[in-house]
Chains A and B, each alone.
Chain A
Amino acid sequence: MIPFFAQAPNPIIRWEYFIDEWDQIRRALVEHLELTIYAVTIGLVVAAGLSAVALRYRWTVAPINGFTAFLYTIPSVALFGILVPYFGLSRFSAVLPLAAYTLLILVTNIVAGFNSVSPEVKEAANGMGMTPTRRVLHVELPLAMPYIVTGLRIAVVSTVGLVTVAAIIGQGGLGRLIIDGLRRTFWTPMTIGAALSILLALALDGLILIGGRWLTPWAQRGKSAL
């Protein structure tokens, strides 16, 4: 007789889960990627705006820095939680905090990148008769690119990690597999969710690294403001 509490063995991972539940894993992976891309894209646009303001009006550097640092220190559980009453268990409630968390890293690196362009180079560009817009886009931006790419890498990797936390409000891609496995004390989805989110972070990091080298083949490696 089998006692009623007898359980199937619960290994750390069951490989057949990959085949049986591939649809679910793929959905989670795609959702994870989408949340990351939305958050970082919004973060990048906002950070570009804030950086432009900070670079144009020097006195705004401290307040902008303070504001983004403040956003960064808000606990993620609190920020996800506090949006739910207003925006529901929606994708918006997940993306908004994720984007907010990228700002500190992105603004710091973008500002540092543009500050790293030497005045002589700007003078030379002016002397060649470039309009300010053209100078920024064709001279300063490429020279600032290594910093921006480094900032982007850190932002993407930390966002991939934070997306899993969005699972507490029913979003969160691979994080949902973690929570799901935890609720059912079934380790396979949990292990897969956790492992894949780490692998995804490494993969995206490598991708941006390669993309950055391709964009700026002349650049020194590993420049960062942080």
Chain B
Amino acid sequence: MNNEPANPEQVLTRPPRTPTQDALNSLIRNRSAQVGMVILAIMIVVAIFAPIIAPYEPNAVLIGKENVKKRQPPCIHLLGCPVDQPQHIMGTDGNVRDQFSRVVYGSRVSLFVGFSTVGFAIIIGTTLGAIAGYVGGATDNLIMRLMDVLLAFPALLLAIAIVTVLGEGLINALLAIGIVSIPVYARVSRASVLSIKELEFVTAARAVGVPDARILGKSILPHVLTPLIVAGTLGIATAILDAAALSFLGLGAQPPMAEWGSMLGAERNQVFTAPHLVFFPGLAIMLTVLGFNLLGDGLRDALDPRLRK
């Protein structure tokens, strides 16, 4: 094959690719990012079209409506389950609800949990970190020592403690996980601000009299975005795991909400008799978290020009 361009001038006239295009290109070619994006795309489609995909309402109790018992193992017609029995591809749970429908609806809760907690933590953490890095001195010391103290607790234990103070429930669990994740973003944004604030374009902005808040918002923060996107994507994975753990312990989502962690927690003592009730919600958590982890790894490789080949 002839790879030489027919007319060398064409090469010269092609506009140079922007760094964003470069990054997107290598992101699309990155294997783990591809797998992660596919998994997440499926999850998002499932979450949006849950009412169409799920054969039952997530909280519909089927007793008396169908010939099913509680904690019935999966019945799939294609795999030889008698056709006269109603099909429940993930079985039924302890309250005779269709487990598959609940797992499908659970994707909505998990995605909401991931995005809302990380969004909250990024807004607060970035602001704190940016102020610490930009102002420096005693303010920097105060903010970052506070972050150190927060980091001195294992995240899940601190989240458990905060939920207990705030009271049980999904929203409080989200708040707890959000608070616990603040230090990560504060550190990331402080580090980037420190490395950027001494650059010439910042000095120039200051020289022409741009107010500090505006310099921080318009000139510096856009440069902090790259590391934040990576940390945020990986952070969503952790947030989903922690939220599921809190719900598993009964501190997060409360019944009858179809949330994977609490579905698993409610049936954990039945693992020997009805393993499907533990297996499927856990598998769903794992796949979603895996998707965010893979995408996060891919983003890190794609957005770091040093790693790009």
Say whether A and B bind each other.
no
